[in-house]
Chains A and B, each alone.
Chain A
Amino acid sequence: QVHLVQSGAEVKKPGSSVKVSCKTSGGTFSSYTFSWVRQAPGQGLEWMGKIIPVLDRATYAQKFLGRLTFTADRSTSTVYMELSSLTSDDTAVYYCARLTFNGDEGWFDPWGQGTLVIVSS
């Protein structure tokens, strides 16, 4: 049974960066793909991208290109999401989730508990 535990809430200034961690327990970390999904207050879900730790390969959604970086530490079974040049529009809950896919199509299960990132001056 895979379980994802994320780091705690963050408050950041506009223009700064935030790094959120997602630690995996149970299962085989190296066989998984992970995605990050965010949810602005009162809004829907937005896919940000995915990382395949065993290949150290990341894919980012178009709107985040240039300011989003995913990394993985296989020694601690942890994936990281770093978002730079923060604006108030980045205020959201950020979720990590395991992505299971068949070809390109896939689904997200399970999800971490979420990390609230507030961007405010």
Chain B
Amino acid sequence: SYELTQPPSVSVSPGQTATITCSGDNLGDDFASWYQQKPGQSPVLVIYQDNKRPSGIPERFSGSNSGNTATLTISGTQAMDEADYYCQTWATSTYVFGTGTKLTVL
């Protein structure tokens, strides 16, 4: 089965840039989406089709996808961005989620 691998954790200082990667075989051949999930809450879509932001998502969230890696970038990270982040794609007739990354803002 197809797998998407993310680093378990990423730490960033407030105001700095956070980068979260998502790796999968030829991931760049398909679109990737990203979700933010805060403790006890439902996931929220922050990026779809590699680099599009839904209405209401701050401009500091951006995405890219090429080769075997999709990347979520948060510029000027704020304390409110501390959460779990999951990538997602379509592969082998199923929707697949990444393993998840806990972003700590310290």
Contacts and interface: CB of A to CB of B under 8 A. Distances in A.
A47 B86 CA distance: 13
Contacts, number: 61
Contact of A47 (B31, B35, B94): B94
Interface in A103-121: 104-114
**Interface SS majority for chain B:** strand
Interface residues of A, number: 24
A45 B99 CA distance: 8
A111 B44 contact: yes
B90 A62 contact: no
B100 to A, nearest CB: 5
Interface in A32-82: 35, 37, 44-47, 61-62
Contacts of A61: 94
Interface residues of B, number: 23
Given A44-B86, A44-B100, A106 B95 contact: yes
Contacts of A44: 86, 97-100
A95 interface: yes
Given A35-B95, A62-B94, A107-B49, A45 B42 contact: no
B89 to A, nearest CB: 7
Contacts of B98: 44
Contacts of A113: 42
Contacts of B54: 109
Contacts of B93: 104
Nearest to B47: A107
Interface in B40-97: 42-45, 48-49, 54, 86, 88-90, 93-97
Interface of B: 30-31, 33, 35, 42-45, 48-49, 54, 86, 88-90, 93-100
